[in-house]
Structure 1
Amino acid sequence: MKQRGRHRRRKRGRAVRAFLAGTALALTGAATMISVSQATVDGNPGALKPLSSTTDTAALGLQAQRVPQASLDRLASAMGRPVGVDAVLDHADKSLRAPDSCAGEEHRALPVEPAATRAYCWNAADTRSWRAGAVTTSGDADDDGVWGQNRVILSGWSQATGTPGRGLARVAFVDANDLGHLRYTSVLLVVPVDGGRDYRALASRLSGMVWYEDKLLVTADDKGRDALYVYDMNRVQRTTVDADAVGRVHGGWAAHGYQYVLPAVGSYRLTGTDGATRPESISLDRTTTPDSLVATSQPAGDEDGPTRLWRYSFSTAPTLTARAGLLATDTTGRADPTEVYRTDGSDIGGVLSYHDSWYVARVGSGDGHGTLWRQTRDGAQATRCGPEERRNCWIPDTPSLSYWEESGEVWTQSERMLFALPLASIDRALE
């Protein structure tokens, strides 16, 4: 279990120096491989417009649901004592590749401007048929950037089977203690069923993911009205059978060949009926009091409604209590947004809030590159690149953005590459 207390601040200075001591990756050469289309991206999303009416906010309410403790205990009794993050990292047996060993098409998925200062590519065998999703880190989990004795990056991936309600979602646990050599292993996300006697795969794209204290919140679109699933990072379970099946099998427990599963301990369900809005991208904002979860979502279906950006407060319950790491709710378990905005931007992917600025990544057009905007109540600015200062400088599709406060870096990933760059460099690249 994560130990928090007086030692945290004392070690922070040493941790920051060690984290930043390595030489930043030289990616300038890779950036020159990227060509920018002559087309200019239009569509300034404009200033953020605050929304406060019940009509605007009611669709964003969430109802907390918990997996019964008896179900979790039954599952643990059958599978064995749960383990934590450190135990998973001890079995990190795969390595991300350095940029000089990545292929040209992988480099072309990096931003043109601002340039990535750290970048790594995944092994092709591990990404085939899987879709890259959200990123979160131990910098989200604790403001000293360390979980236990480790710096950790969590990278979400999903796989569709073509059958409604079927699919897989996994999280790569990346050992980030040595930024020159990232090692990882993957954990399958599951949901307990039958009172903890079995579990099913989470059939959802991981377009949003936040690790806060000992909880991992992930976006959900697999079944019913669940909008976010909640996982306890101290409840990883080991599997016992190497099989393609997921759940209880003859001789033990399987997880599509993975060594570990992480069972859900709860969820947040949509409370509205018509027009309920499901978060598609989420991130953590530590500049609010209390810390908050920010979210965005596109209008449902073919509707022309506004794109919303909003936030929920996290609970201020003490660490090691049942409410730690969860959203703040009323006495009925309902979480309502504390701030809601409308943006005129469309096709929004990842979102990040820092002080009064909202950074939103918009999906690329036909030329293959997206745009990265910073929006406030006063207006919007986009990062620029090239001699004509074009706006299509960002990666094509950004599931999420995660800010590591300790190092000042923003982490995200494209289809085959995990990368980071300073938030300050994004601000410098704005028009």
Structure 2
Amino acid sequence: MSGHRIATRSGLAVAVLTAGLLVAPGTAAAATPTNLPVDQYTLSANYHQFDAVNASLASTLGVASVHSVMTNANHDRTGLPSSFSLPGLETGFRFDNGDNSDCRSYPQGITTSRDAVGTADSGNYDGHQLVVVSWYTRDACGGDHERSRLTLVDWDATYPNKYRKVLLVEPTGTATSPDFKDIPIHAGGVSWYGDHLYVADTGRGMRVFDMRKILRTNTGGDADQIGRGPDGEYYAHNYAYVLPQIGTITSNTTSGTRLSWSTISLDRVSRSMVMTEYTCSSGCASYPNRAPRAIRFPFAPGATTFAASTTATQALRLPWYKLNGVASHNGRWWYYSSGAKQLYYWTPSAGSTTYPFVSLGESISYWEDDTKPDLLWTLQEGAGNRNVFAVRQGTYDG
């Protein structure tokens, strides 16, 4: 059913009928997060894990700038369908038909060049305003995780409505015999800060990449081929570009239950990364059956990196389950539950508010703007219905 607005009076938020779902104004929620001991949650950072191999790969393959990658963007993004509507909807897009319907690959995390550089120069990184989405790919429809990738989407009227895929790889071998392999993780969250790109790795913490170190690869050969071939050329499933991992952020806890890094998001105001867990209240075989947590980890002073050891500055036990998305900005929090199809807004002083939201939603990225309303970017993963969209955060701030 086509979406349409329902008129209201007295300044009340509008409700929207989208695909047969009545999206109502927010309601106050009794449930609220509670504090946990911050000293139970720490990170160990290694940004130089693959330096020698990566230097050799860069010398052998050649480095491509983000601008060069986007100049060679080869996929067309399309507009949102006219039937898609919800309160505060500002803008958005869909991937091309192949990516929108692919039953092997699923979009998960989202970040933007405004995460990376802020609002200066319209949030341009290397001359481009970008929306970046992380994906995982299965070896067959419904199969096991096989690899992970990024989609770099131009979001700037200066350039065509194009995007390019970049494969995420882990360096292997040695400096004299460098190679790389697939990274078969869920990639449930991604955040870009400065030149560094952080990708959630569920049981470990985060993998770190450097956006200045995209490598060129050979697009010929077998689509299943990865790494150096018998002919000495490097292949990546026919991807023209790969982004090699530079390091690992390892999560540690003395709480007795390790963190499950389901998704992440950057908070530029407090210069920190926030994460949350996908858990169930009961009955799940593949996910923890317990209350989820949200943890805030600060970056090193004046840097876009974490210190060698970092202790959390905020730790929360949450009353909501099946959380795929989290965002925080200026003391405010948003959580998205794919199980409840709801977006929760919370501050320690005002409590929480619940908003009906989309189905099969994923991560959230906060988009700062100096002259227009700030936005929350998010997306849906369901095949055939992969809307990537931004809503005005003020519509969902209680």
Smaller-chain TM-score bracket: 0.7 to 0.9
Please, which of 389, 392, 397 is the counterpart of residue 422 of structure 1?
392
Q: CA 1:381 to 1:295, structure 2 compared with 1: closer, same or farther past 3 Å? A: same
Deviation, 1:154, is 0.6
Deviation, 1:281, is 1.0
Say yes or no: does 1:151 pair with 2:114.
no
Say yes or no: does 1:46 pair with 2:31.
yes
Partner in structure 1 of residue 166 of structure 2: 187
Look up the equivalent residue of 1:114 and give its one-letter code.
P
Say yes or no: does 1:169 pair with 2:148.
yes
- For residues 399 and 280 of structure 1, the distance between their equivalents in structure 2, rounded to whole angstroms, comes to 10
Contact kept? 1:240, 1:253, Cα under 8 Å: yes
Look up the equivalent residue of 2:97 and give its one-letter code.
A
Deviation, 1:169, is 0.8
Deviation, 1:272, is 4.3
Q: Report the RMSD for the aligned CA atoms in angstroms.
A: 2.9
Note the 1:22-61 alignment, pairs <5 A.
32-36=17-21, 44=29, 46-52=31-37, 54=39, 57=40, 60-61=41-42
Deviation, 1:278, is 2.9
Say yes or no: does 1:376 pair with 2:347.
yes
Partner in structure 2 of residue 356 of structure 1: 331
Cα offsets for 1:172-207 (capped at 9, x unmatched):
111111299521010000000112511011111121
Deviation, 1:117, is 1.9
TM-score, scaled to structure 1: 0.76
SS at match of 2:37: coil
Q: CA 1:62 to 1:172, structure 2 compared with 1: closer, same or farther past 3 Å? A: same
Look up the equivalent residue of 1:361 and give its one-letter code.
Y
Look up the equivalent residue of 1:400 and give its one-letter code.
S
SS at match of 1:61: strand
SS at match of 1:257: coil
Note the 1:259-270 alignment, pairs <5 A.
259-270=240-251
Please, which of 361, 364, 377 is the counterpart of residue 398 of structure 1?
361
Contact kept? 2:218, 2:235, Cα under 8 Å: yes
Say yes or no: does 1:228 pair with 2:182.
no
Deviation, 1:303, is 4.7
Q: CA 1:38 to 1:375, structure 2 compared with 1: closer, same or farther past 3 Å? A: closer
Q: CA 1:302 to 1:76, structure 2 compared with 1: closer, same or farther past 3 Å? A: closer
Look up the equivalent residue of 1:230 and give its one-letter code.
V
Q: CA 1:28 to 1:238, structure 2 compared with 1: closer, same or farther past 3 Å? A: farther
Contact kept? 1:410, 1:423, Cα under 8 Å: yes
- For residues 288 and 96 of structure 2, the distance between their equivalents in structure 1, rounded to whole angstroms, comes to 39
Please, which of 273, 276, 282 is the counterpart of residue 293 of structure 1?
273
Say yes or no: does 1:341 pair with 2:316.
yes
Cα offsets for 1:103-156 (capped at 9, x unmatched):
x8xx5xx5x642422121112212412111111000000112111221111111
Note the 1:184-263 alignment, pairs <5 A.
184-195=163-174, 197-221=178-202, 226-242=204-220, 243-244=222-223, 245-251=225-231, 252-263=233-244
- For residues 64 and 180 of structure 1, the distance between their equivalents in structure 2, rounded to whole angstroms, comes to 36
Look up the equivalent residue of 2:155 and give its one-letter code.
A
Matched length: 360
Partner in structure 2 of residue 5 of structure 1: none
Q: CA 1:33 to 1:183, structure 2 compared with 1: closer, same or farther past 3 Å? A: same
Q: CA 1:53 to 1:423, structure 2 compared with 1: closer, same or farther past 3 Å? A: closer
Cα offsets for 1:250-309 (capped at 9, x unmatched):
331111111100000001123348522132111111222xx1111111359665433111
Gaps of 5+ in 1: 1-26, 318-323, 384-392
Look up the equivalent residue of 1:357 and give its one-letter code.
R
- For residues 83 and 115 of structure 1, the distance between their equivalents in structure 2, rounded to whole angstroms, comes to 37
Deviation, 1:77, is 2.0
Gaps of 5+ in 2: 6-15, 281-285
Shifted more, 32-41 versus 181-190: the winner is 32-41
Shifted more, 374-383 versus 210-219: the winner is 374-383
Look up the equivalent residue of 2:342 and give its one-letter code.
T
Contact kept? 1:47, 1:376, Cα under 8 Å: no
Deviation, 1:49, is 1.2
- For residues 124 and 25 of structure 2, the distance between their equivalents in structure 1, rounded to whole angstroms, comes to 41
Look up the equivalent residue of 1:50 and give its one-letter code.
N
Q: CA 1:70 to 1:165, structure 2 compared with 1: closer, same or farther past 3 Å? A: farther
Q: CA 1:32 to 1:38, structure 2 compared with 1: closer, same or farther past 3 Å? A: closer
Give percent identity, aligned residues only.
24
- For residues 38 and 241 of structure 1, the distance between their equivalents in structure 2, rounded to whole angstroms, comes to 45
TM-score, scaled to structure 2: 0.82
Deviation, 1:44, is 4.3
Q: CA 1:53 to 1:168, structure 2 compared with 1: closer, same or farther past 3 Å? A: closer
Partner in structure 1 of residue 8 of structure 2: none
- For residues 405 and 236 of structure 1, the distance between their equivalents in structure 2, rounded to whole angstroms, comes to 26
Select the structure that is richer in strand.
Answer: 2
Q: CA 1:373 to 1:253, structure 2 compared with 1: closer, same or farther past 3 Å? A: same
Shifted more, 155-164 versus 168-177: the winner is 155-164
SS at match of 2:363: coil
Q: CA 1:213 to 1:346, structure 2 compared with 1: closer, same or farther past 3 Å? A: same
- For residues 241 and 257 of structure 1, the distance between their equivalents in structure 2, rounded to whole angstroms, comes to 4
- For residues 250 and 280 of structure 1, the distance between their equivalents in structure 2, rounded to whole angstroms, comes to 38
Partner in structure 1 of residue 112 of structure 2: 137
SS at match of 1:87: helix
SS at match of 2:213: coil
- For residues 31 and 158 of structure 2, the distance between their equivalents in structure 1, rounded to whole angstroms, comes to 38
